[in-house]
Amino acid sequence: MPRTSGPWPSWVFGPVRPSEHICYVQGLGWTTKYFGEKIGLYFAWLGLYTSFLIPSSVIGVIVFLYGCATIEEDIPSKEMCDQQNAFTMCPLCDKSCDYWNLSSACGTAQASHLFDNPATVVFSIFMALWSKLSP
């Protein structure tokens, strides 16, 4: 099937290469003519809203990478992952559970640092201000 079908120009069907999808401007005029003004306004708002989410997602990735970079300096994770301090923990249930070592939760402690590090406080303040200041 050819890329153009019917009275629509070829640019309505979008770019050919995936790299062109990054900065592709929507054909809102054609969308409005075909679907009507309400649907055209919806797609215009969706494009604007998505472009507003780009700064917050970039900062969120930076915060996550900060957590990855500082995972070795996290004191609670160090203490939990230390095999020399073999802390024996009480069973998690009353009857059929055994005692367990705290070091068995090392991976969970390190994963929690990735998403709950000091930079997430700054990110939450940024998100609160961004939600109030954005249109």
Q: Are 71 and 80 in contact (CB under 8 A)?
A: no
β-bridge mates for residue 101, sequence order:
88
pTM of the model: 0.67
> What is the pLDDT tens value at each position of the chain, 135 positions in all?
445 555 655 555 555 566 666 666 667 787 788 888 998 889 888 888 888 888 899 999 999 999 999 999 988 888 888 878 778 888 888 888 888 888 888 889 899 999 899 999 999 999 999 888 866
State the helix-helix crossing angle for 37-69 and 106-115, rounded to 10 degrees: 130
